[in-house]
Amino acid sequence: MSPTGPIRSAIAWGEGLVDRLLCVLGAVVFSQVPEFMQQYLQRLGGHLDEARRQLDQIEAAAARSGLTLEQLTAHTAAASDPAVARLGAVLADTAARVDALAAAESAIRHASILTRPFVFMRRLDPEIARATWSIFKPALPTTLEGLFYALAGVLVFLAVYHYGVRGPVCRAWRARAARKKPADVAA
């Protein structure tokens, strides 16, 4: 038995172990993506509910004054008192926020498994994302989406390892060995 036999066996065992660890790591890391999106959607829904509650109160105040929301906003924005005029911008911002949050929630909830991460990134509210991350609790999703992301994680981690790490290292070793052989023959 040549001395390289045990070394090759140990290297093969190590590569198998690395492959298995990367599969587990990829599955765990990527399976957290739908969990984070789910927790983000819960937080987004809370922001939307609160914004709607505020808008309902403003619309009720406008109705009691015999005005629509748009009329109350325009009337307030045109006030001669600067403090009241700034309140008109707040009223308009509240209505716009409800529309933006509702559109984001609907788009993310109704996106397919394949498009959801792209819709999520496009509709992401950084403030809500930071707040979600600050209290994020990892979980093991048991949904089809969680399985899809776990499998994608396995494939991505293995591809990065095999094509970005292992492949270049093996090519470099083969090139080194090829350069070394002619020198050995000459001796």
Residues 6+ apart with CB under 8 A from 39: 132, 135, 136, 137
Q: Tokens 């009223």 map to which residue?
A: 91
Within a domain: residue 15? no
Kindly report whether the global pTM for this prediction surpasses the value 0.75. no
Q: Residue 11 is encoded by which pair of tokens?
A: 């290297």
Residues 6+ apart with CB under 8 A from 107: 119, 122, 123
pLDDT confidence of residue 159: 86
What would the DSSP string read from start to end of 11-68?
HHHHHHHHHHHHHHHHHHHHHHHHHHHHHHHHHHHHHHHHHHHHHHHHHHHHHHTT--
Within a domain: residue 3? no
pLDDT confidence of residue 2: 47
Within a domain: residue 156? yes
3-state class (DSSP) for residue 81: coil
Within a domain: residue 57? yes
State the residue range of the domain holding 102.
27-186
Within a domain: residue 140? yes
Tell me which residue of 89, 101, 87 sits closest to 51, measured CA to CA. 101
pLDDT confidence of residue 10: 72
Within a domain: residue 35? yes
Within a domain: residue 13? no
Q: What is d(CA 1, CA 181) in angstroms, rounded to the nearest whole number? A: 22
Q: Tell me the pLDDT of the chain (187 aa) as tens digits.
A: 444 677 777 767 777 777 788 888 888 888 888 899 999 999 999 999 999 999 999 999 999 999 999 999 999 999 899 988 899 999 999 999 999 999 999 999 999 988 999 999 999 999 999 999 999 999 887 888 888 888 888 888 888 887 887 777 777 777 777 777 765 555 5
Task: Read off the DSSP letter of residue 186.
Answer: H
Structural domain total, the chain? 1
Q: What is d(CA 106, CA 45) in angstroms, rounded to the nearest whole number? A: 10
Residue 62 CB coordination number (10 Å)? 19
Within a domain: residue 175? yes
